[in-house]
Chain A
Amino acid sequence: MLIEQMMNRHVVTIQPTNTIAHAAKLMRDHKVRHLIVTNPARQVVGIVGQFEMSGATSVFHPESESADFKNPVSSIMRQDVTTAHPYDFFEDAAALFYEYRLTCLPIVEQAKLVGVLTETDLLRYFVQLTGALEPSSQIELLVENTTGTLEKVTRLLAKTNVNIINVFVHPTPDPYKRIISFRVQTMNPLRIIERLKREGYDVLGPEMSQ
């Protein structure tokens, strides 16, 4: 998946010369937690998030609050902005979020702002990936981490005439084991689970003890 396919194209932006009060209003009106600061050429020159906003005034000087709010956004914006390209992979963007603890990633093409990706967008995509939005049951198997295991299991599932909505392969603390989790389109996975157990698979389920 490319960032282009999942990014938000409607970006709430602000000019560096606008006031902090205006920034606060924009965030409130559009229900966003970040504003991308752009110049008239639509180049990204900074970013203002809730963290920067909370530093705009001081609780020790409440008397100067209204004056503080008249300061320009450029006085509080973060200038070293991490950006990505629309053709970057989703995985790369996710790694950036993780590595730099980002909450918002402006997407830039030919030096111009074209979109934005937030934590929420990543999470939404992740939920879609898990298949959890379609009615299905989950079957999990603890298997050897060797070639051909997934093929054997899916061959078996095909024989039970059940549609697989999604497959995940999770690592486990043991490098020689993997958990394969399937979301299958049936309310009655019992016959499949019994068949898998008959074939010697370790089928995981809810744990009764800690």
Chain B
Amino acid sequence: MRPAYIFGENENSYRFHADHPFNPVRLELTTSLLIASGKLQASECIAPPMASAESLALVHDPDYIEAVQAAAAGELSTLKANKFGLGTEDTPIFPTIHEGAARLVGGTVHALDLVASGKLERAFHVGGGLHHGMRRKASGFCVYNDAAVAIAHVRKAYGSRVLYVDTDAHHGDGVQWLFYDDDDVMTLSIHETGRYLFPGTGAVTERGNGNGYGYSWNVPVDAFTQDDSFLRCYETVFREACEWFKPDIILTQNGADAHAFDPLTHLASTIRTFEQIPQIASRLADEYTEGRLVALGGGGYDWYRTVPRAWSQVWAGLTREAPYNGDIPTSWIDQWQTKADQALPTRWDDVDYTFQHIPRRQQIEEKNWEVSKRAFWPFISNDRKSIYV
């Protein structure tokens, strides 16, 4: 069964302005790369519907939704806008702010619904993954929290237990806080430590509250973390989360900002990390959820070199293909080169690029591994503990 590919030009309606790092051109770049590579037919793209206010209200407060609508109409006072995190440099107000944000939610709800209802085994909503959206506050480029709304929707409609796995370089705080007390939704976020980076949370000690204790896991990795360390931590903790939580569905957020080229973060991955993240997710879904897997996009601010390749590899994982390799189709390069501010990549891998040597590498790897173990240690059986001693 082919996974669903959810993307439509109508998602361009979530666009702050030309200089804003979060730009829908990333979705077009990815989709056109997959089509040019013969991995996707244009006719397969499903344009996302807009989420209803009722659906948004599964996690957002009605007065916040009304405020976003008022902002779109230009009728929100500065004072109120500030209260809701709107009209800031991160989330400036634009005429289609409600429509655009609600459409991104609609795409993710549709993707997760297709899988939770049993219609499809897998789906990809490349425009989703706005993980910083809070109950009543816009934050970190995110207005509505598509993943959280979709999870709340399938909880209500099918009772599905969802494991949310977030590999964006920023902590998946919005999704975490929205389900912090819930033991039927588990969140796992691996991200750069909050020492300097937004949002500053995501410490290993944030484990959930009340009934939800043990169902929020965090792995903050050090600045300048490289491929081997990132992948080792990710795969190990992801597997332990599956063992502990026994999910019905896995939902992944595939922010592509852990790459060394990303301007906003300080991690030092290469494209290899992004080839492997979806392969590992696919294998674990086959092992633990009978294949059920939904993937979302997310952050990623090196629009041209990194993001299109990283997100295309998500499709490779979902379709159970090996990571795409070799040359990037010249037709895609010709299509985009004039718009790009850098030379587009000519290969799927990163061999043409040179990366900085990280003198602290060994120290960073050791620290990351210790933190990873601390994330799952209280929740695994003694048998499994023996694996790590």
Contacts and interface: CB of A to CB of B under 8 A. Distances in A.
Nearest to B132: A135
Contacts of B141: 187
A210 B358 CA distance: 10
Contact of A136 (B134, B199, B222, B356): B199
**What class of interface size applies to chain A in its complex with B?**
20 to 34
Contact of A135 (B21, B201, B264): B201
A163 B88 contact: yes
A208 B88 contact: no
Given A135-B201, A138-B195, A188-B21, A205 B88 contact: no
Contact of A190 (B90, B194, B222, B263): B263
A133 interface: yes
A132 to B, nearest CB: 5
Nearest to B222: A206
A174 B31 CA distance: 54
Nearest to A206: B223
B128 to A, nearest CB: 17
A125 to B, nearest CB: 17
Contacts of B356: 208
B222 to A, nearest CB: 8
A76 to B, nearest CB: 32
A99 interface: no
Nearest to B358: A208
Contacts of B194: 132, 138
Interface string B154-170: 00000000000000001
Main secondary structure, interface of A, reads loop
Interface in A134-153: 134-140
A207 B222 CA distance: 10
B359 A208 contact: yes
A156 interface: no
A186 B88 contact: yes
A158 B88 CA distance: 13
Nearest to B196: A138
Interface string A59-75: 00000000000000000
B198 interface: yes
Contacts of A160: 89
B225 to A, nearest CB: 10
B229 to A, nearest CB: 15
Interface in B239-281: 263-264, 266
A161 B87 CA distance: 11
B200 A183 contact: yes
B197 interface: yes
Max count, chain B CB within 10 A of own CB: residue among A137, A205, A207: A137
B2 interface: no
A209 interface: yes
Nearest to A160: B89
Interface in B76-131: 88-90
Interface in B170-187: 170, 173
A187 B90 contact: yes
Interface in A161-210: 161-163, 183, 185-190, 205-210
A52 to B, nearest CB: 28
A179 to B, nearest CB: 13
A132 B200 contact: yes
B198 A186 contact: yes
Nearest to B85: A185
Given A188-B21, A208-B224, A137 B196 contact: yes
Contacts of A162: 89
Contacts of A134: 199-200
B373 to A, nearest CB: 23
Given A135-B139, A187-B199, A187-B264, A209 B359 contact: yes
A209 to B, nearest CB: 4
B360 A208 contact: yes
Contacts of B173: 135
B126 to A, nearest CB: 20
B219 to A, nearest CB: 17
A30 to B, nearest CB: 18
Given A133-B201, A206-B224, A208-B358, A187 B132 contact: yes
A208 B195 CA distance: 14
A132 B201 contact: yes
A183 B201 CA distance: 12
B88 A210 contact: no
Contacts of B330: none
B359 to A, nearest CB: 4
Contacts of A210: 359-360, 363
Interface string B134-165: 10000111000000000000000000000000
Contacts of B197: 137-138
A140 B363 CA distance: 23
17 contacts: A131-B200, A135-B134, A135-B199, A136-B198, A137-B198, A138-B200, A139-B196, A161-B89, A185-B88, A186-B88, A186-B89, A186-B198, A187-B170, A187-B199, A207-B360, A208-B356, A210-B359
10 closest A-B pairs by beta carbon, nearest first, are A206-B223, A135-B199, A187-B140, A209-B359, A187-B198, A137-B198, A206-B266, A138-B196, A135-B139, A132-B200
Given A138-B196, A187-B264, A209-B360, 19 more contacts: A133-B201, A137-B199, A138-B194, A139-B196, A183-B200, A185-B90, A187-B140, A188-B21, A190-B263, A205-B196, A205-B223, A206-B196, A206-B222, A206-B266, A207-B360, A208-B356, A209-B359, A210-B359, A210-B360
